[in-house]
């Protein structure tokens, strides 16, 4: 999953980015509204964490320009906590709202929920036959037995499962699994897919030659 | 709930009731008194006439008995002599009125000098008081005894007479009249009370409106005001005063609210950093380098919070205290000199020149606060500007401190805002740990608190100029 973090405070930006990366999200950062907007329009992020008070363009303005063209889920993150500000953010197209100071775990849970809902899933446990993917604990079990997968493999599997029944191109996978600092590892995609097949069974991920992959 | 006597309306009503009662009483009592007097006079006349009629009738009776012709009333002496000589009965023409115990009946009783009854009607009450018979002259008086009005008289010839009448019908009439008077008075009084109640209600209705409005304001509806157009002149003044007070309180409240909002807003980000960083670090084991980095971030963030709270406190103190017109005398040049001292190291570190041209400038104020002001201005100039020149001196009744730098100056669109709290002209620096965004707000608050002004402008030759004007001491 690839996330855009737009936050002007350098310490908070660094800390949040580190937190998200440790949860195996691919994270791009932007330090003001303009940079955030252009990045948000450039890539298909799985979610955007958007600070409200930003230099150049504030968060609400970024939202206004982002909607309705881009449907990426947006989590507003701001120090303003009046009901009016929240309503303004949500009506402006934000999908969720979190006021500073917030709890790291809550931010992660809300992000997971946003991404899940955007993919059309309503629960954090996704079952495909004997395979169960728990997006909250980031674990994979097959017939009740936990299968150990690496963070990369988990990310790949989660993306394909969340977009189950749709062909996901390699480019899309590159875009969503690796952030801008992480391009060098892109050629390992095939390795991850073949590892997953070994662990979970050949039939789980099908290859559509020339198009990409699909979890049927 | 206060007692009725603490209610303005009830007190007005009580006084009104008392006054009205006195006025009605004062107008009714003389009328009643006059009516009573005239009744008595009428009764006295009546009783006297009754006596005269009785005499005349008796004279006629005496003459008839003696076989004489009726020649009008006898002279008293002869009447007495004849009456004492021959006792007679009550003449028929008077029998009707001088008998029985009906209300209004008349009676009469005659005695001779020895106190023996010579003539008496059957209904004469017992215990009648006769006047003593005087040797030389006639005596008479009219009196009221209980329910009777009677005339007592005595003739020197040796006769004492009491002729009287029962006046209970008159007393009843008098009582009825007094009752009617009291009834009318009571009705007028009650009507007056009703009118007074209505009037006092009308008079205090604006007060109720005011108190209701004030109540709504107290409940938090701070935008509401009393409409002075709906008030009479006296209360319109009060409404204006109250509205002004509400405005001032509202503004102070709004400042306070804004301040709290600002403060909590500015503290939220550093707290978010502390939470996020500590939670991240605690999630799993890390290398000492990672811990060190994380702790450095936390420490820096805590410092930032400390600076912020200190600045907020200075600002709060400046805005809360009254303008210090009677501050102690101080030389602004010395204040500037003192403030520049700690900044020289900073100038040196940044490779900037810090020059001061100071001449004595006496003003009244708090040297500590003025030092903070100068320090904030010069610190800003060194940080965002460049080489800095501080000029201090006295001109035309005021003292002036100018801080000039040769940096890029303040962007024009930002000039009107740079004294606002938490306004940062350069967004790229926003959140930089060194600055709270309150320095210039504090500087202006201090200047205004000393009765001065603080201006910012850009110099035509480039760079920013901050100018502080303060009233000169003794000017």
CA distance B344 to chain A (A): 29
Paired with A146 in beta bridges are A141
Peptide bond connecting A68 to the previous residue in cis, omega within 30 degrees of 0:
yes
When scoring A8, A10, A12 by the number of chain B Cβ atoms within 10 A, the one with the most, hence best to mutate, is A12
**Residue A188 buriedness (CB in 10 A; 0-12 / 13-18 / 19+):** middle
Task: Pick the closest to residue B51 from B191, B183, B194, B159 (CA basis).
Answer: B159
Report pLDDT digits (tens) over B302-354: 988 888 888 888 877 776 665 555 578 888 899 898 888 888 888 888 888 99
Rounded Cα–Cα distance for residues B293 and B305 (Å): 19
B38: pLDDT strictly greater than 80: yes
CA A94 – CA A6 distance, rounded (Å): 14
Identify any residues that bridge with B162 across adjacent strands, giving them in sequence order.
B109, B152
Q: What is the pLDDT of residues B456-470, one digit of tens each?
A: 999 888 889 999 998
Q: How many pairs of residues across A and B have Cβ atoms under 8 Å apart? A: 67
Token pair, residue B13, equals 């009503």
Q: How many residues does chain B have?
A: 475
pTM of the prediction? 0.56
pLDDT class of B428 with cuts at 50, 70, 90: very low
Reference A216, options A208, A206, A199; nearest CA is A206
Q: Helix H segments across B219-320?
A: 233-283, 288-320
Cβ distance of A15 and B428 shorter than 8 Å? no
Split at pLDDT 50, 70, 90, the class of B432 is very low
Average confidence score pLDDT of chain B: 84
Buried b (16+ CB within 10 A) or exposed e, B38-71: ebbeebbebbeebbebbbbbbbbbbbeeeeeeee
Residues 270-299 of chain B with CB under 8 A from chain A are 271-277, 279-280, 283-284, 297
For residue B23, what pLDDT is reported? 94
The confidence score (pLDDT) of residue B321 equals 64
- Residue B456: enclosing H or E segment and its boundaries? strand B453-458
> Which two structure tokens, joined as six digits, stand for B279?
């939670």
**Among A107-121, B60-74, B151-165, B173-187, which stretch is predicted with the lowest mean pLDDT?**
B60-74
Instruction: Lowest mean pLDDT of B30-44, B62-76, B100-114, B177-191, name the range.
Output: B62-76
Nearest CA-CA partner of B464 in B403, B383, B373: B403
Q: Quote the CA–CA distance of B217 and B200 in Å, as a whole number.
A: 26
C-beta separation of A18 from B276 below 8 A? no
pLDDT band at B278 (very low <50, low <70, confident <90, very high): very high
List helix spans (H) across B321-366: 332-340, 343-349
Using a CB–CB cutoff of 8 Å, tell me whether A102 touches chain B: yes
- In B, which residues are within 8 Å of A32 by CB distance? 427-428
Mind telling me how many Å the CA of B288 is from chain A's nearest CA? 16
What tokens does B164 get? Answer: 């009287």
Nearest CA among A128, A127, A129, A125 for reference residue A138: A125
Chain A contact set for B297 (CB, 8 A): 11, 14-15
Provide the 3-class DSSP secondary structure of residue B328.
coil
Q: What percent of chain A lies above the pLDDT cut of 70?
A: 97
Span B272-284, mean pLDDT? 90
B59 with B140: CB under 8 angstroms?
Answer: no
Residue of A nearest to B296 (CA): A11
For chain B, percent of residues with pLDDT exceeding 90: 20
Q: What's the pLDDT at B431?
A: 44
- Do B159 and B111 touch, CB atoms closer than 8 A? yes
| pLDDT exceeds cutoff 50 at B268 | yes
Query: What SS3 string covers chain A?
Result: CEEEEECCCHHHHHHHHHHHHHCCCEEEEECCHHHHHHHHHHCCCCEEEEECCCCCCCHHHHHHHHCCCCCCCEEEEECCCCHHHHHHHHHCCCCEEEECCCCHHHHHHHHHHHHHHHCCCCCCEEEECCEEEECCCCEEEECCEEECCCHHHHHHHHHHHHCCCCCEEHHHHHHHHCCCCCHHHHHHHHHHHHHHHHHHCCCCCEEECCCEEECC
Positive/negative CA dihedral, B283, B286, B292, B297: negative
- pLDDT confidence of residue B34: 93
Q: Are strands A212-214 and B362-364 parallel, antiparallel or unpaired?
A: unpaired
- C-alpha pair distances (Å), A203 with each of A164, A169, A183: 14, 18, 29
Select the more confidently predicted residue: A122 or A35: A35
Of the CA atoms within 13 Å of residue B95, those in its CB half-sphere come to 6
Q: State residue B323's pLDDT score.
A: 56
Q: CA B452 to CA B370: how far, in whole Å?
A: 11
Q: Where residue B117 falls among pLDDT bands split at 50, 70, 90?
A: confident
pLDDT score of B105 more than 70: yes
Query: What part of A 111-170 touches B (C-beta under 8 Å)?
Result: none
Cross-chain Cβ contact A99/B268 below 8 Å: yes
Chain B interface test: which of A13, A17, A56, A104 (most B C-beta within 10 Å):
A104
Name the most confidently modeled range: A48-57, A80-89, A104-113, B106-115. Answer: A104-113
What is the arithmetic mean of pLDDT over B394-404?
88
Positive or negative, the CA dihedral B110, B113, B117, B119 is: negative
Q: With 0-12 CB in 10 A as exposed, 13-18 as middle and 19+ as buried, what is B96?
A: exposed
CB B194 within 8 A of CB B188: no
Residue of B265, B279, B297 lying closest to A11 (CB–CB): B297
| Cβ of residue A18 closer than 8 Å to a chain B Cβ | yes
Contact A16 B279 (CB under 8 A): no
Q: Which residue has the higher pLDDT, B214 or A202?
A: B214
pLDDT at B429 over 60: no
Q: Which residue has the higher pLDDT, B422 or B445?
A: B445
From A170's Cα to the closest Cα of chain B, the distance in A is: 32
State whether residue A19 sits within 8 Å of chain B by CB: yes
ipTM of the prediction: 0.77
Dihedral sign for Cα A37, A38, A44, A48, please: negative
The two tokens of residue B16 are 């009104």
Selecting from B273, B284, B432 the residue whose C-beta is nearest the C-beta of A12 gives: B273
The CA distance from B211 to A167, in Å, is: 72
């Amino acid at each position: 999953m690839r996330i855009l973090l737009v936050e002007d405070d350098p310490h908070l930006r660094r800390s949040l980015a580190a937190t998200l990366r440790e949860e195996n999200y691919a994270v791009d950062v932007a330090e003001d509204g303009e940079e955030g907007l252009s990045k948000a329009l450039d890539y298909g992020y799985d979610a955007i964490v958007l600070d409200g008070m930003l230099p150049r363009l504030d968060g609400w303005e970024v939202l206004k320009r982002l909607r309705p063209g881009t449907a990426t889920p947006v989590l507003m993150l701001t120090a303003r906590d009046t009901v009016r500000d929240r309503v303004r953010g949500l009506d402006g197209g934000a999908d969720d709202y979190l006021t500073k100071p917030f709890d790291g775990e809550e931010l992660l849970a809300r992000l997971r929920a946003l991404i899940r809902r955007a993919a059309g899933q309503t629960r954090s446990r996704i079952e495909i036959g004997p395979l169960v993917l728990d997006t909250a604990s980031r674990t994979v079990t097959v017939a009740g037995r936990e299968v150990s997968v690496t963070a990369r493999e988990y990310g790949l599997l989660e993306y394909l499962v969340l977009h189950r029944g749709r062909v996901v191109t390699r480019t899309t996978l590159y875009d969503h699994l690796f952030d801008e600092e992480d391009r060098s590892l892109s050629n390992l995609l095939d390795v991850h897919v073949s590892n997953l097949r070994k662990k979970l069974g050949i039939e789980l991920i099908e290859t559509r030659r020339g198009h990409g992959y699909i979890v049927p | 709930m206060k007692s009725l006597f603490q209610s303005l309306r009830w007190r007005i009503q009580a006084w009104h009731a008392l006054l009205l009662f006195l006025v009605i009483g004062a107008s009714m009592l003389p009328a009643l008194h006059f009516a009573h007097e005239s009744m008595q006079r009428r009764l006295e006349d009546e009783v006297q006439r009754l006596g005269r009629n009785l005499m005349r009738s008796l004279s006629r009776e005496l003459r008839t008995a003696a076989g004489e012709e009726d020649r009008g009333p006898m002279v008293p002496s002869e009447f007495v002599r004849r009456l004492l000589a021959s006792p007679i009965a009550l003449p028929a023409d008077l029998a009707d009125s001088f008998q029985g115990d009906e209300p209004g009946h008349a009676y009469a009783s005659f005695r001779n000098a020895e106190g023996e009854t010579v003539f008496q009607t059957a209904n004469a009450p017992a215990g009648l008081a006769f006047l003593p018979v005087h040797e030389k002259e006639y005596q008479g008086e009219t009196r009221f005894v209980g329910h009777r009005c009677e005339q007592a008289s005595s003739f020197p010839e040796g006769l004492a007479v009491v002729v009287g009448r029962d006046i209970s019908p008159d007393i009843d009439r008098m009582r009825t009249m007094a009752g009617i008077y009291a009834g009318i008075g009571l009705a007028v009084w009650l009507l007056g009370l009703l009118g007074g109640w209505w009037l006092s209600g009308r008079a205090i209705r604006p007060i109720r409106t005011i108190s209701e409005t004030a109540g709504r304001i107290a409940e938090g509806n701070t935008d509401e005001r009393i409409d002075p157009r709906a008030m009479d002149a006296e209360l319109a003044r009060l409404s204006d005063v109250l509205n002004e007070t509400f405005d001032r309180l509202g503004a102070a409240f709004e400042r306070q609210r804004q301040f709290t909002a600002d403060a909590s807003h500015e503290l939220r980000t550093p707290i978010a950093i502390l939470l996020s960083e500590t939670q991240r670090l605690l999630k799993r084991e890390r290398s000492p380098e990672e811990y060190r980095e994380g702790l450095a971030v936390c420490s820096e963030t805590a410092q930032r919070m400390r600076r912020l709270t200190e600045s907020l406190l200075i600002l709060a103190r400046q805005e809360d205290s009254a303008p210090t017109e009677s501050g102690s005398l101080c030389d602004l040049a010395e204040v500037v000199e003192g403030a520049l001292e700690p900044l020289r190291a900073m100038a040196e570190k940044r490779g900037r020149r810090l020059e001061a041209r100071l001449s004595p400038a006496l003003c009244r104020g708090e040297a500590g606060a003025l030092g903070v002001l100068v320090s904030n201005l010069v610190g800003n100039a060194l940080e965002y500007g460049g080489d800095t020149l501080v000029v201090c001196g006295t001109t035309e009744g005021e003292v002036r401190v100018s801080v000039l730098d040769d940096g890029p100056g303040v962007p024009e669109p930002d000039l009107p805002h740079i004294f606002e709290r938490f306004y940062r002209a350069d967004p790229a620096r926003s959140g930089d740990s060194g600055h709270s965004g309150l320095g210039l707000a504090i500087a202006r608050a201090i200047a205004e608190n000393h009765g001065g002004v603080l201006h910012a402008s850009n110099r035509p030759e480039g760079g920013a100029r901050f100018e502080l004007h303060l009233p000169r001491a003794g000017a």
